Every structure is written in C-alpha cells, then in structure tokens.
Amino acid sequence: MFRHIVLKLVVSASVVAAALPVPAADAPPDSATVAWREVPTSFAAEATVEALRQATVAAQVQGRVVEVRVDAGDRVRQGDLLMRIDERESNQAVAGAEANVAQAQAQLANARATYERTKNLFAQKFVSQSALDQAQAAYRAADAQMKAASANRGQATTSRSFTSIKAPLAGVVAERHTELGEMATPGKPLLTLYDPGGLRVVASVPQYKLAELRGAVRAKVEFPDTGKWVDATEVELLPVADARTHVVRARVQLPEDLPGVVPGMFARAHFIVGQAKKLVMPQQAIVKRGELTAAYVLDDKGMPQLRQVRTGAVLADGLIEVLAGLSPGEKVSTAPVRAGIALKQPAGQ
C-alpha cells in the first residue's frame, strides 16, 4: 500500500551525492548497491500546475468574428492582434457621434455669439438683466451639450477599438473558444492565454498537517508521468481553510521555463518536514509483473536472480525505499530488461 508520507532527498549537492546509491568498485556495470541513507522525510500532496499569469480574453462588443490569427499553442507578444470582430456597426456609431459633435459645435458657436451680443446690449442698457441671464443660460447649456457629444464620440471610438482583440500579455495561447464566423457577445470568452515563464503547483493540505508543514520552507515537485523532480523556489500556505473540505491550499513556486510542464498537469508536491535513515535503491531497478514487485539481484559472479521485494515511498532523485526482500550491501541491476535477457540465455552463451 502506497503511503502518503513520502521521503525526499536534500537538495544540496553534497547531500544528494551522499544519498545516491553508487556502484561499488567491483560492481558490474548497470548496477547499484542497496544501502542505508539519511534522506529527508516529506509529506506528499496531489497538486495541479497553474500559471501565475493567465488571462481569458472576452468580447466587449457584439459582432461576428471576421478574422482569427492565432490558434492553441501559438506564442504571442503583448499587443499582438489575435482576432477581429465585424466593426461596421461600430463605424456607424462613431459616424453618428461625429455628427452629434458637429451639431453641438454649431449650437455652441451660435449660443456664444448670442451671449456676447446680449452682453454688449446690456452694457448699453438696451436689454434687461433677464435677457442677459437667458442668453448666458443658453450658452452654458450649449457648452454642456458639446461636452456630452464629445464624451459620446470618445465612447463610440473606444467601443470600436474593442473589435480588435489584442493580447493582454506575452505568452502562449492555451485555448481558443470561438471559431471564425461565430457571433461574439459581450462577456463571451474568446481566447485563453498564459505566460509559460511563471508556473506553480497548487496542492490541498489537510488541516491536521498544518502545524507540521508551517515549518516546511522547502519542497520538491514530482511529475509522475515523466519521472521528473524539481526543487521548488518558494512555498506558501494560504491563511484560510475551505469550510467544506477543511483543507488549506498551498502554492509551490516552480523554476522558470520548465520544459514539458504546462498548466493543468498533474503533479505531487513533497513538503520536506524532517530526516530519517532509510534503506534505498534506484527506482529503475524495480520490475513490475502484474502484482509482483521484484528486482534482479546480482550474485558474486554478476549473475542476476529475480527476487520479490516490498517497496515503500518513492523518493526524489530516482530512489525508492526498500521495506523487505533486500539487505544492505546487495547489488541490484539498474538495467532489468538486459538482466532478464541474460538470465534466460543458456550458460556459456
């Protein structure tokens, strides 16, 4: 039964070098010695990779998508044109706003001239104070209408700019939600982009582990599908717990520009909480045949013999804990396929 408490190697070069089982001087090639090693202990939590910077670009105006320039997997720079929405309706709105501005300008000019004439006549005592106040009010109203028309023109011009969908950040197109010819409506997602240079894994940690993990300033991240292990650059426990599941989310920062790692991938975050002495061997020496877990043990003459073993936690840097079946000092083949072929060949061949 795979245990949830897993072990990991210390990331410093000296400790890692000491932890790796190395072939003895007289060991045959492609072999390693089972040995006791001081290895870090850790708590493992399943996690998901996510991008630090990710954006879903949505439509802000209604219209048909008339041009699509990118697809999923394409790299874009900030400000690159991604899509275009039919702008004919927006152009008409801008033209109408321009006409309203021209009309407001004419009314403002007329109101200003009337106000100036009335003010001169009032100075000569030809018109009353009421006529002057009326001319002044008409001038102020025309000025306000001019400002409103200018604002409407700016709003129409801004809305027309929304027909050109541009990249809000430099990165990779993760998904395209809209095809050419589809109708875009305000709020409808069009594209999802992310920056591959900044990734992290997010794991859920049970609350009973919080006291132990609060001192865990180091972590390693395992990608089981590829067998890759990387050192986290930062560990952060969020200060709140989920009221339904009673777990706390932990963010584990990954190194920049990791090849082959994309958002949504499954990973395991291993939070280092201590150290312990364990019997270890290379994970590549393990042979799986149905429910049988075994390893090819080499005798004094270098001949392999298949032996059932019981293993424990998978450790960092390609190691696995040995619980039963092997003794310290025994040599195992790290090329089990080749060892199996050699075992089936008749002696002398």
pLDDT tens string 201-234: 999 989 888 887 876 678 889 898 887 888 888 8
Max mean pLDDT among 17-31, 76-90, 274-288 falls in 76-90
| 60-85+163-188 fold | OB fold (Dihydrolipoamide Acetyltransferase, E2P) (2.40.50)
* pLDDT for 5 beyond 90: no
The residue that leads in pLDDT, 89 or 211, is: 89
Q: What is the DSSP pairing of strand 35-51 with strand 5-7? A: antiparallel
* pLDDT for 75 beyond 80: yes
The model's pTM: 0.64
**Structural domain boundaries in the chain:** 5-52+197-344, 60-85+163-188, 87-160
* pLDDT for 15 beyond 50: no
CATH number assigned to the domain covering 87-160: 1.10.287.470
Q: State the chain's mean pLDDT as an integer.
A: 84
| 5-52+197-344 fold | Elongation Factor Tu (Ef-tu); domain 3 (2.40.30)
